[in-house]
Structures are given as structure tokens and as C-alpha cells.
Amino acid sequence: MKKLYLILLINLIFLSSLSFAQSKDDTLFIAFWNLENLFDTIDDTEKNDEQFLPDGDKEWTNERLDIKLNHLARVIRSMNNSNGPDILGVCEVEHQSMLDSLITRYLDDMNYKIAYVESPDKRGIDNGLIYNSNIFELLSVKGDIVHLKDNWPTRPIVNVKLIYKSVDTLSVYINHWPSRSRGRELSEPNRITAASTLRKSVDEIFTVNPNAKIIVIGDFNDEPTNISILETLNANPFKCDSIKIEYLFKTKSELFNTSYQAYEDGLGTYKYRGDWNMLDQIIISGDLITNPDFYYICNSFNIYKPHFIVTQSGKYKGTAFPTYGGRRYLGGYSDHFPVTAKFLINKE
């Protein structure tokens, strides 16, 4: 069994210089958000979208869709001190047209572009990436197919390669692993398969460049210490410490889970039967910890929950304010909180 606690000790002097460096360096703001069933109102005969139609169980109308898009845009705009994220991974989107509508109608001043892969998933919920085209250029986008044992079609893992200001190549993986609908243990093999698919793709990059800059984001439907994340993906639990000492652990070709500290503190992004679950995570390659010119800002991982997306009263007080509660329309935002992290880029 892999060691659960891997602590990288960060040089205190290096971190103390951040307050001076940030004035002249660039800070990248990365986020991920499960958008909770962002469907259009048009029947797609190839998808099981009957619930999300005007005459469906959820009475999903154009008016409700407009409210949803407006809500999502409000949250996105509020991130990063109201500057919006530089990279936002999303899941549970029926078609790219939904993200197109989001950025053209509600975020048209922010120069966002989209990388997207249509999914074979029968429910029609896909993964995509919204990125700031002022600083990123899209190099490639592809979907790594997850082949489950029962051949049930599920979401591919979307692999997006971006280049930052014509200098640094960044590989971003957007994930939405198979759900726990049959119970965590019965469904666990499916998430292990997804983890194997992702690890194989990551290792292909590491084989070429052990110091590759990789960011893995998503709703994994598992937590940082579950087998799929900890052992199959081999995402090391990562905690920051301010002790002045050299790095003690190998970081080349390794992944580290920035979400671990929050998980250990009992926090989560999704509440189920009274328990918080850290399903939404941000995992990074070792170079983004040790590289002095492009690195994760220690302890910047955050579960983003401005007051307006938090349920304020009742049985579910403190949880994410969803669009639906069962079949009942609530007019909220999503049933998951977003997660965010910051990276510093040294211009010099």
C-alpha cells in the first residue's frame, strides 16, 4: 500500500519572496467546475436527454436555460478577483453549443475560447475547457477513450495542450470519471479503469519530458485516498510546509494532489447523505512544484464558494445551491462547488 502522507517541504525564503515577485510576475488562476446538467432544450435522438426538454420531467425551458447560463457567468466572472479564471475546466455539458452560448452571450468581453470533445456517453454530458485566448494558444485537443469492461460508453478524458505566451507548453486533462450510482465499491473498477487511461496518457508525456507541466482537473467521483487516485493514478498527497529545507522527494514524472490538505481537513465539494466528499480535485506534475519560473503557489488550492452559490437555510444549509433538488426546480447554480488554484510565472 502506497504511503498516504507525502509532504514536500518548501523553502521558506523562496515563499517569502512571493509578495515582492507578484507585482512583476504573472499569476495564473486555474479552476474546475461541475456545471450540473447544462443541457439545451432540443431533443437529441442519440442521447438520453428526455428529462431536460420543455415537456420532460424537469420542464427544462429556454427561460430556465437562460437563468442557468446567467448564473454560471456570474460565478465565473466573480473568480480571480472579478477577473475570471485563466483556465476553467467544466463537465456535465450536453454540447459545445452550450459553452459557446455562455461565452458569447454572457462573457463576450473576456476573450475566452473553448476546447471541447463530444462524448459517447448516453446521457450526453461532456467535458470541456474554457481558456483565456489573450495569454494561451491552443495547440491540440483530443479525447482519451475510457474502455470499461462492460463496454458502457462513458466520458472521454479530454487532453488539451496550450502554449502560454508562446513560451511554456501546458497539458491540461479534464476528467469526469464514472459515477458511484451503483455504490462506491461496485462502481470502483470503472474509476480505476479511468485512472489507468489517464495515467497511461500522462506517462506518454513524461516519457518525452519528465519535467512536463501537467494539470489534471476534474470530478473524479472518488476522493484523494481512494485506490483510483492514490494507487492507480499515483497522485501523491501533497501538503505544503514552511520549513526551510531542500526538496526531499523525487518530483520528475510524478503527480501531486493539491486537494489533499483540504480533504484531510474534512472539507469537500459535494455533500452526500450528510458527508462532504472531495470529488473535485486539482492534481499537478512535480515540475509545477519545483520549477522556480512556473510553479504552484503553495496552499492556493481553494473550494470556491461565494455566498450566493451556497444554500443559506434549511436541511441543506451550507451545501452548493443546485439548479434542481430531485425533480423540483430551485433555480440555483450547481450541486458542486468549484475548485481553484494559482500558479506564479516568473517573467525574468
| 15-24, 72-81, 131-140, range with the lowest pLDDT | 15-24
pLDDT at 335 over 50: yes
pLDDT score at 24:
60
All structural domains of the chain, each given as residue ranges with its CATH number in brackets, are 7-345 (3.60.10.10)
pLDDT score at 150:
85
| pLDDT tens digits for range 233-284 | 999 999 887 433 444 557 899 999 999 999 999 999 999 988 999 999 999 9
pLDDT at 23 over 70: no
Grid cell in block for residue 89: 475546466
| pLDDT tens digits for range 288-315 | 999 999 999 999 999 999 999 999 999 9
pLDDT at 15 over 60: no
